[in-house]
Amino acid sequence: TLDAGGCARCNVLRKAKYDEDNGTWRNDNGWIMLYEGVSKEDGKHRIMAAESDDLRNWSKIGVALNVGEDGAWDSDGVGAPHVLRLDDGTS
């Protein structure tokens, strides 16, 4: 797996939905964790995602942000995931 070499720097946030009618975020059931996963195969860091209903048992979702192609600014890895919910519904 792409995090078999280790995990670090997680960010946990409540699942939410944006209500376009009144322009607000509404909390939803469950939690999302974004974390930095390290691949044993290439040693690169990727941002991975997992979800939970109770903050104790987690199911991996997969890669949230992968490394870029050779020569790109992010070709050596990405990490330190942080998420901000913006007032306009974007994140």
Q: Could you tell me the pTM of the whole model?
A: 0.86
pLDDT single digits (tens) 58-74:
999 999 999 999 999 99
**Which pLDDT does position 42 carry in this prediction?**
95
What distance in Å separates the CA atoms of residue 65 and residue 21, rounded to the nearest whole number?
30
Instruction: Check pLDDT > 70 for residue 91.
Output: no
Beta bridge partners of residue 26, listed in sequence order: 17
Tracing tokens 């930095």 back to the chain, one arrives at 36
